[in-house]
Amino acid sequence: MNGLVQTPQRGVMAIWKDKYRFLFKPQYYDNILRQNDSKNKKLGHNYRTADPIWFDHDKEHTNNGIIHLIETTHEKGYKLPCKNIALILYNMCIKDIYDPALYKGFEDCYDQSSAKHMCARVCYGALYAYYKTN
């Protein structure tokens, strides 16, 4: 009778089942060498989304790229939270875009910007962007 009926295994955590193992493997968004790209592509997961200044430049046909964010910022105003400013500046630097009007607009509104959700990665991204554009 035991061979016909499958009994559930007790005490087996989901972390050790092959079916769910990919959810529990540590992924580090800073170190690309630690990521298994082929597995990420196969499973459809992008583990770099945990990075607060990550912008998916490979999907520019879908998200219109960083240029769309720059144009929207020019239209709607420069009063943004500091983390969003850092995201825009860092990704402008990655795509080799320099817009002095954007920098001037951000610098005029720094005293009104919220720095509530800043982390070290965001601060470093903004610092790196300023370094590369000067």
| Alpha-carbon separation of residue 74 from 10, 31, 44, 77, 126 (angstroms) | 59, 33, 34, 6, 19
Per-residue tokens: 42 = 């196969």
Do 37 and 70 fall within a single domain?
no
Do 62 and 128 fall within a single domain?
yes
Residue 23 is predicted with a pLDDT of: 66
Residue 9 lies in a domain: no
**pLDDT of 30 strictly over 70:** no
- C-alpha 6/C-alpha 16 separation (Å) is 19
Do 34 and 63 fall within a single domain?
no
Residue 40 lies in a domain: yes
Residue 17 is predicted with a pLDDT of: 75
pTM above 0.85, yes or no: no
**pLDDT of 37 strictly over 90:** no
Residue 44 is predicted with a pLDDT of: 53
Domains held by the chain: number:
2
Residue 4 lies in a domain: no
Residue 98 lies in a domain: yes
Residue 96 lies in a domain: yes
